[in-house]
Amino acid sequence: MQFSQIIGHANLKSHLLDVVKSEKIPHAQLFIGPEGNGALAMAIAFAQLINCEKPTETDSCGICGACQKAKKMIHPDIHFTFPVIGKKEGKPPLSDDWIAEFRKSVLENPYLNEYDWLQKIKAENKQGNITALEAKNILRKLSFKNYEGKYRVSIIWKPEALKKEGNILLKLIEEPPANTIIILVAENQEDILPTILSRTQITKINRIEDKDISAALINQYQVEAEKAQRIAFLADGNFREALLLVENEDDPFDQDLKDWLTFTLNNNASELVSFMEKKAGKGREHIKQFLEYYLHFLRECMILKFSNQLNAKFTHSEKQLAERMSRFLNEEKLYLLVPLIEKCHYAIERNCNPKITLLNLSIQMEKILRGKPISTESWVERIG
């Protein structure tokens, strides 16, 4: 992977290039930031750059022997650790057992999240682990001499999965062997063992800017300019999200949301049931995106209502719906509605029946929007 393939982050790329030129590469680094920001891609591109035989002023060369291997993720000195489950019944979870699947998944979409990855190995309902055995395996691999690269690099994706077994790595992280670089790629700083955190140099990787997402969609995915801009607004710096929204491009959510709100507020049970059946038929990922779209819509509605109208990111048809919706909304209702939608999103992810989950959400939503009391111990709390 090269910097040129990574969306946005111009300043960060230039900073990393300076670090490489200075030849003072920190031996333990933490790339951290929100989902869909491209942090894993950045770590892979950085590992390629530091092993490239003929780097240019702005990037790895992309054609030397090291680059050829690094771009296929098969460079013998670039190692990967990531959350996994045991490959067979009774087998301990080990990244090496899944490396072929991991390479394929990351090369297909370097912006994937942990859920996408676990889904690729049909483990989305399980907890991915980085175990003590895996930590020992990292130590073992990094104790060998470099095969051919200038640097040995260990990329640990989602170190949040390392619990106390992560302490096995402390000495390595503090004082790795010569020419060894460890890059942790994480989303949540508070979920990383403090002993590990304090031994790394932190590089924050922010959300991708809207203009960069929009340009990438236009140039790489042939999305029409206006649509690309709208998707970039919705994706909110998350390119994983942007790609999912492109897939749904022919199926815009605003009309669906309008129908849903209308059926709900009119208590139109038969329309509501057929709407839910249609939605359930489109699969979990579609419903999750629809709920994310709804959350985005509510956030923009509040901006429209309480702040400068020009700040709200709406298309023309969305704006009409938002103006209608704003009449029903206030801050108190929003505080009830948002966690409810988030819990539904979680429930859908955890395989709850989508039709029942959405129908129940509609019932609660109608009560909230109309200012009726809702039960304190609601059905979603029982699911969550």
| Binding window for Zn ion (CB under 5 A); candidates: 3-11, 55-63, 247-255, 285-293 | 55-63
Q: Does 51 bind Zn ion (CB under 5 A)?
A: no
Q: Does 336 bind Zn ion (CB under 5 A)?
A: no
Q: Does 362 bind Zn ion (CB under 5 A)?
A: no
Question: Is the Cβ of residue 5 or residue 326 nearer to Zn ion in the bound state?
Answer: 5
Question: Is the Cβ of residue 23 or residue 89 nearer to Zn ion in the bound state?
Answer: 23
d(CA 203, CA 161): 19
d(CA 241, CA 216): 13
Site string for Zn ion, 65-104 (x = CB under 5 A): --x-------------------------------------
Question: Is the Cβ of residue 52 or residue 369 nearer to Zn ion in the bound state?
Answer: 52
- State the CB neighbour count (10 A cutoff) for residue 274: 12
Which one of residues 64, 215, 295, 363 is an interface residue with Zn ion (CB under 5 A)?
Answer: 64
Instruction: Count how many residues are written for the chain.
Output: 384
Which one of residues 6, 45, 50, 52 is an interface residue with Zn ion (CB under 5 A)?
Answer: 52
- Taking the CA atoms of the chain, what radius of gyration do you get in angstroms? 23
Which one of residues 20, 25, 61, 215 is an interface residue with Zn ion (CB under 5 A)?
Answer: 61
Question: Is the Cβ of residue 42 or residue 52 nearer to Zn ion in the bound state?
Answer: 52
Please give the residues from 116 up to 155 whose contact with Zn ion meets the rule CB under 5 A: none
Question: Is the Cβ of residue 60 or residue 229 nearer to Zn ion in the bound state?
Answer: 60
Which residues in this chain contact Zn ion in the complex, by CB under 5 A?
52, 60-61, 64, 67
